[in-house]
Chains A and B, each alone.
Chain A
Amino acid sequence: MNETRCDNHYHVPLPSHYPVTINLGLFISLLGFALRINTIASGIVLMLAGIAMILYGTSGWIGKIICEDESGNYHPWEDRSFRIGMAYFILSELAFFGAFLLALMYVRVFALSELASMDAHFTLWPDFKGIWPSGGPKSQAFTPLGAWGLPAVNSILILASAISLIWARKGLLAANRGQMVAGLAIAIVLGVAFLFQQAMEYRHAAELGVTLASGIYGTNLYMLTGVHGVHMLAGIIMLAVLLLRAFHGHFNAENRVGLDMVTWYWNFAVVIPGLLVFIYFYWL
């Protein structure tokens, strides 16, 4: 381990007001949200103020890290902390996705068959078959979405974005900055295209009668793709920051922890969950 500790001095940052600002913003926006969904107050001012504070705190914090990085405060020892931290953060994101995917599995394997297997004399839904895709006994009628239209194209798009990021990283390692910038830009374009197509898919779903009123089928469609879409949006913002940094001449073959971490995030917390949603919700 000694070779990773340049001069045996770990950079301990000075006191910072950004974390507590973010927390105040989180508190205010959630308070506004809770008041709003319970129609106690409009809460919109609180939510906007809170979100503004979160954005200010996050951008200030990340900006500070970038400054510290570029002014040579970080060595392989600090980089290793960031990498381990990111790896475990991604693990927790996978656990979050896993909960939604396991909820889908539970419904498909246990809940629907249980509902269908009840004694016909007692249930309110004697004709219910309980075969996936199904919205449950009381849902409105709908046509299930096919896998080989937009969803398949979208899966190819995110796979391509993963490859393009790996290509960008190869470019950086080979000191080919053009390749890095191009790879990042392509990944961003592919991500935005994905989100755009996802919106098309929602419109298509609504035409087929798949809404939240289509029981557990609609619930899973919109929650799985929604949670994935939010992560993708976060990933696109991260990639955009990387691209800006690349234009400013940041990163080189030794100092590339930011690029590596976002690549991991994109490939493991955005691409893989997206593919799992395609396989287990649309296809199988």
Chain B
Amino acid sequence: MTEAITTHDHPPAGIMRWLTATNHKDLGILYMSFGGLMFFIGGAFIMAVRAELLLPGLQLLSPGMYNQLFTLHALIMVFGAIMPFATGLNNYLIPLMIGAPDMALPRVNNWGFWILPFAAVLLLIPFFLQFFGIGSGASAAGWVMHNTSLDLQSGIGMDFAIFTIHLLGLSSLTGAINVVVTVLNMRAPGMTLMKMPLFVWAWLITAFMLILVIPVFSAAATMLLTDRHFGTHFFDAANGGDPILLQHLIWFFGHPEVYIVLLPAWGLIPHILATFSRKPVYGYRAQVYALWAICFLSFLVWSHHMLTSGLPLAAEVYFMYATMAISIPTSVLVFCWLGAIWRGAMTFETPMLFALGFVAHFGMGALTGMILPDVAVNAQYHNSYVIVSHFHYTFFGGGIFGMMAALYYWLPKFTGRMFDEKLGRLHFWLTVIFFNMTFIPQWFAGLDGMPRHIADYALRFSAMNFISSLGAFLLGLSQLLLVYIVVKCVRNGPKATGQVWEGAQGLEFTLPSPPPYHTFETPPLVK
């Protein structure tokens, strides 16, 4: 009986500590480690894709294998790397930031995390089965199954992907409910909603979006499953259904999902900019309202992913303007970030570098996002490499840069040790250079007419793809430096103080580094 001798201060030893964890710090570390591991697995898949695209012609992969690899890359990076890492941050930080003893529903928290490894295995099983002659490989339909058609690419991989979506949905949903309950019910006395750090606000809004759109994605996946195997006709025109209905359902999820990936990063960037500018957060109220506005608008713009699907003109024009309207609250955020560093006493430690890199690269992704919903422009750019480059500027330049900034910013808090600042800066500069080397050529290839989702291309795109592939390999290699930095920090970094950064503010910096296993068992009083 392990439970009989287990108490709060003595969690079970070894693997059982992690399998049965209910402590928000343990689960936060699990989430973040899982996200980090998936970041490298998803990266490995795309290295093979870029190797195929290094030169024109088919050298390494069959087109089917190519489609599987970019699909797995996308699913793993979005649902396996960025979202779990952001969830890990919220697990670790929200209770510390609002002065709560733990997340509100600790066992549900454990449930949500331990679905993820199973979901990842389920997604990858058909990929490996194909090497033993079973089935036709993993799903090859893109990151929200947007290239699904009922007859094409519908091997066993699609069924495994559908079940993976169900599992991931359960994980995200439980995590989101936990965040909402924690924020609404667990704040320390005096911590009013409008005193909460912006990271907490951003996660609360993210959780609202997850609770409303994840079930729609699960429903769409269920309809797809029953259409494929149990004789229903949701997406079958001859029997009164409509394939466009599937697009509507998955993009009704898929567009808010973009903001689900980005909002946590938008929430943590103001913390970092303020700390290293030695100024308070700029435009707190404006940022909270802007985040809500983006949440609201994100539900109303999904069809800008479908502008070439044959919608009525009135719908296309509506979705064009609605999408462009999102740039208003987004600009509020960007100008608040710039306001935060305006005339600040700035220093450029690694987290600050990544935060500034985030502002610059996300800015490029956002500006191109203003152009793409234009109906006439979209007719040309739809499914071209312009799109690939655009969403990598938002997801990598926004999401990943944001997560890196957060990792460097709070790593000393998590581990109690400082990382090697010189190596951190080197990692930043390598990432910036190779990221742009990878994706700037893709703008040009896309503008020149190169379509995405293809394993081979016309000779005129050779130069751009060659540069892009080289950049991708170097970008991948330079991320190994991150592993070295984190390992070195954990093993023998110099001790960190509780304050960690000179200008850091917030309840989490009033605690020692690392914080004790249980914190705020008696709520602090927030003035």
A23 CA to B523 CA, complexed, in Å = 33
In the bound complex, residues from chain B placing their C-beta under 8 Å from that of A15 are 3, 6, 11-12, 16-17, 20-23
A9 CA to B218 CA, complexed, in Å = 37
Q: Smallest CB–CB gap between B514 and chain A, Å?
A: 19
Q: Smallest CB–CB gap between A9 and chain B, Å?
A: 7
B149 within 8 A of A: no
A30 CA to B162 CA, complexed, in Å = 10
A222 within 8 A of B: yes
In the bound complex, residues from chain B placing their C-beta under 8 Å from that of A31 are 122, 125
Known: A13-B106, A38-B159. A215 touches B239 (CB 8 A): yes
Q: A10 and B177: CB pair below 8 A?
A: no
Q: Smallest CB–CB gap between A158 and chain B, Å?
A: 21
A92 within 8 A of B: yes
B355 within 8 A of A: no
Q: B104 and A81: CB pair below 8 A?
A: yes
In the bound complex, residues from chain A placing their C-beta under 8 Å from that of B23 are 12, 15
Which segment of B110-118, B475-483, B505-513 sits at the interface? B110-118
B245 within 8 A of A: yes
Q: A99 and B240: CB pair below 8 A?
A: no
In the bound complex, residues from chain A placing their C-beta under 8 Å from that of B63 are none
Known: A34-B156, A215-B233. A14 touches B240 (CB 8 A): no
Interfacial residues of chain A within 57-84, with CB under 8 A of chain B in the complex: 61, 77, 80-81, 84
Q: Which of B106, B108, B184 contacts A12 (CB 8 A)?
A: B106
In the bound complex, residues from chain B placing their C-beta under 8 Å from that of A223 are 223, 226, 232, 234
B152 within 8 A of A: no
In the bound complex, residues from chain A placing their C-beta under 8 Å from that of B16 are 15, 17
In the bound complex, residues from chain B placing their C-beta under 8 Å from that of A244 are none
Q: A13 and B22: CB pair below 8 A?
A: yes
B216 within 8 A of A: yes
Question: Chain B at the A interface: mostly helix, strand, loop or mixed?
Answer: helix
A222 CA to B414 CA, complexed, in Å = 51
Q: B240 and A217: CB pair below 8 A?
A: yes
Q: B167 and A26: CB pair below 8 A?
A: yes
A255 within 8 A of B: no
Interfacial residues of chain B within 206-249, with CB under 8 A of chain A in the complex: 211-216, 218-220, 223, 226, 229-234, 236-242, 244-245, 248-249
Q: B156 and A91: CB pair below 8 A?
A: no
In the bound complex, residues from chain A placing their C-beta under 8 Å from that of B7 are 14
In the bound complex, residues from chain A placing their C-beta under 8 Å from that of B176 are 88
A18 CA to B16 CA, complexed, in Å = 12
Q: Smallest CB–CB gap between B439 and chain A, Å?
A: 34
Q: What are 30 sample pairs from A and B whose C-beta atoms fall under 8 A apart?
A: A8-B523, A12-B106, A14-B7, A15-B21, A15-B23, A19-B110, A20-B114, A27-B118, A31-B125, A38-B135, A38-B159, A84-B104, A85-B177, A85-B180, A88-B180, A88-B211, A91-B211, A92-B177, A92-B211, A95-B214, A103-B245, A106-B245, A107-B240, A110-B242, A111-B242, A114-B242, A139-B233, A139-B240, A212-B231, A215-B240
Q: Lowest 9 A-B CB distances belong to which pairs? A: A136-B240, A216-B240, A99-B219, A19-B111, A215-B239, A15-B20, A96-B215, A27-B118, A111-B242
A interface list, Cβ under 8 A from B:
1-2, 5, 8-10, 12-20, 22-24, 26-27, 30-31, 33-34, 37-38, 40, 61, 77, 80-81, 84-85, 88-89, 91-93, 95-96, 98-100, 103, 106-107, 110-112, 114-115, 124-125, 134-139, 212-213, 215-219, 222-223
